[in-house]
Structure 1
């Protein structure tokens, strides 16, 4: 693997390189991707400071590969006796979906797919929305009321949970709706690993998850369903630890497969907490994955066991080809040179919480199909 050599910021038709301090982060669960770069060379920093303005559109490339398309948020020039520097921070185009309210005539959307709603709400801010999974197109929202004060991403994220999807930004500034991917970008050779951290935890896991209907839920405690508890054990927890999940009224009705949202929530809770009890972080000496492209969130890598030999033996029991990249941070500074920090876990760590957007009386209205 070749180490990428430089970062280029393109803004106002100009390419600016020579940045001496770099930090860019992209992730599955962070909206949005962001960057923080600095230049300390006197003349170049002064010249770039005259060219860059907050709010300007920009593109960030590493060795020619696009990483972020977005906007400059802040420009911070500084001066000292023998130093002239400029620091620039910014985020992906999707920042407007996270920061801004909904620009929509009326407050109701009817008979639209999750993808249609995302595109409708994102269009005023110039953000393209794509889907990597058909459920974004086939999951139909019969009726949706959007609330003043909600951001665009508040609505998109909630709808994506209904369809079982993640929503995160891409290097071209677009928003992608996707499930956890099984795309494997190759095996990480031990020689590229400079440092590793393995977080093996138990404090967020429970021996039993109990999903319970509210006993005082109006019109939901009729019949034989009121107060029913679904129990899901985690045999890996060494002592008794009980966790209750109390259902909302719209989570109790049966779904087409015979389950309910509250059952799915309980199973999701157990699997997610188990997966997140095994977090592997690696500092590697390259911005490039084994396939020659930049490290990407929502891809999987295999890890050479030699790279883990100094960590706890428990990590060697995890599947070597099943590590999902949840977050990647590209770094450069004068002390460590070019590195990247990868945050890895098992795929279940990134599955989204099941959600039913329809408020209903559980024992009067039949289940809402997914």
Structure 2
């Protein structure tokens, strides 16, 4: 029995690796990851003798044999009196540099380049590798905007390709579509279930029965004026009363197909965000020994409120340790709630022409 307890303790031992040394024995732990958060973060605290950890150090955070964060120490706080010395250490993933720092690439414009190529060059000065999953066709034209951070520029790239930026446990930037991380064990609230507590919110706020998206295109000689005057797309949510109608004007030029895609996204995304669930389970691991983690699909059943088993995305995971014990808190939502909004693709021909025109103007002063 003692050997089993020791093995379990070792499996869930939290270690901060800094400057070739391992620091463990943390009394308070909070580590958080999210499918749409560009940088994981952590806060660890312990009361003991002084430890030579300073802000800015490269670090890794592990739970047993599972790495959770690769990044840097942001803050180190010491508090002490005649009897005790407490140290609080917090930090974020390596991708935090992309959130904090301005984009300074020169000349700062990419014509006809893939999302992977542009993201590599933006993140390159910070030593952050990038993985783009399903980046699609080359982006006709991407230019840095005055004063924007690297991540703000990356968000615009993601919007063009319906991707979401996050990081992985190795500190790499991942541009992905949430929900591709496999499956997790089932979660059950009620008698005999594994959920300690849950908050389940159903909302119809900002939801509509009918979504009408209207757009307008620039005219061309070969285009039908009736088609380009006001292309429209519609979608419905049958779970909402029929007199609720939303009319949305596309932010930029959009044809009928784009309007229809936007309408379907509005209906699915708003319906997805109408179900918001947060659950807390004991420990950090599933029944098979894997850590609970983000970007997986789980089945959630709530016998207390009568919610049948529903497939949901683990959108955020927070691992904690403190006075209440060792816990995992997870935010769950339908996958549609985290699908990125479709945007109007820039016409490649127009983009190419615009690039040539800019080059000509530069040559002629």
Match of 2:155 in 1: 157
In 2, the alpha carbon distance for the partners of 1:361 and 1:280 equals: 45
Q: Which deviations, in whole Å up to 9, do the C-alpha atoms of 1:221-250 show, x marking residues without a partner? A: 992132444332212113632322111333
In 1, the alpha carbon distance for the partners of 2:138 and 2:183 equals: 31
In 2, the alpha carbon distance for the partners of 1:301 and 1:263 equals: 30
1:347 aligns with 2:348: no
Q: Which deviations, in whole Å up to 9, do the C-alpha atoms of 1:184-218 show, x marking residues without a partner? A: 1333465431111111111121122121236xx87
Given that 2:162 and 2:177 are in contact with CA atoms closer than 8 Å, whether structure 1 keeps it comes out as: yes
1:265 aligns with 2:262: yes
**SS state of the match for residue 198, structure 1?**
strand
1:232 aligns with 2:238: no
Given that 1:21 and 1:39 are in contact with CA atoms closer than 8 Å, whether structure 2 keeps it comes out as: yes
Q: How many residues matched? A: 337
**SS state of the match for residue 211, structure 2?**
strand
**SS state of the match for residue 266, structure 2?**
helix
Match of 1:195 in 2: 197
1:209 aligns with 2:211: yes
Given that 1:187 and 1:290 are in contact with CA atoms closer than 8 Å, whether structure 2 keeps it comes out as: no
1:35 aligns with 2:25: no
In 2, the alpha carbon distance for the partners of 1:116 and 1:360 equals: 17
In 1, the alpha carbon distance for the partners of 2:208 and 2:349 equals: 30
1:309 aligns with 2:298: no
TM-score where L is the length of structure 1? 0.83
1:69 aligns with 2:48: no
Given that 2:130 and 2:172 are in contact with CA atoms closer than 8 Å, whether structure 1 keeps it comes out as: yes
Match of 2:85 in 1: 84
Q: Identify the match of residue 314 of structure 2 among 311, 318, 325.
A: 325
Q: Which deviations, in whole Å up to 9, do the C-alpha atoms of 1:125-156 show, x marking residues without a partner? A: 0101113x3x22x4211222112311111122
Q: Identify the match of residue 22 of structure 2 among 5, 8, 15.
A: 15
**SS state of the match for residue 281, structure 1?**
strand
Given that 2:163 and 2:176 are in contact with CA atoms closer than 8 Å, whether structure 1 keeps it comes out as: yes
Q: How large is the RMSD of aligned CA atoms in angstroms? A: 2.6
Q: Which deviations, in whole Å up to 9, do the C-alpha atoms of 1:277-325 show, x marking residues without a partner? A: 112211011212344222221111123x4xx111x22x32xx53x2110
In 1, the alpha carbon distance for the partners of 2:163 and 2:202 equals: 27
Change beyond 3 A, Cα 1:218–1:59? same
Match of 1:275 in 2: 272
Range that drifts further, 232-241 or 169-178 = 232-241
- Which runs of 5 or more residues in structure 1 are unaligned? 366-370
Q: Which deviations, in whole Å up to 9, do the C-alpha atoms of 1:327-367 show, x marking residues without a partner? A: 00001102x110000111111111001123538999xx9xx
Change beyond 3 A, Cα 1:360–1:163? closer
In 1, the alpha carbon distance for the partners of 2:336 and 2:174 equals: 19
TM-score where L is the length of structure 2? 0.85
Range that drifts further, 337-346 or 239-248 = 239-248
Given that 1:249 and 1:360 are in contact with CA atoms closer than 8 Å, whether structure 2 keeps it comes out as: no
In 2, the alpha carbon distance for the partners of 1:127 and 1:118 equals: 10
Range that drifts further, 147-156 or 220-229 = 220-229
Range that drifts further, 265-274 or 286-295 = 286-295
Match of 1:120 in 2: 121
- Which runs of 5 or more residues in structure 2 are unaligned? 1-6, 354-365
In 2, the alpha carbon distance for the partners of 1:228 and 1:358 equals: 17
- Larger RCO, structures 1/2 (Cα 8 Å, 6+ apart): 1
- 1:142-153 equivalences under 5 Å are 142-153=140-151
How far apart are 1:7 and its partner, in Å?
A: 1.1
In 1, the alpha carbon distance for the partners of 2:345 and 2:233 equals: 22
Match of 2:33 in 1: 26
Given that 1:96 and 1:125 are in contact with CA atoms closer than 8 Å, whether structure 2 keeps it comes out as: yes
Given that 2:232 and 2:260 are in contact with CA atoms closer than 8 Å, whether structure 1 keeps it comes out as: no
In 1, the alpha carbon distance for the partners of 2:110 and 2:218 equals: 28
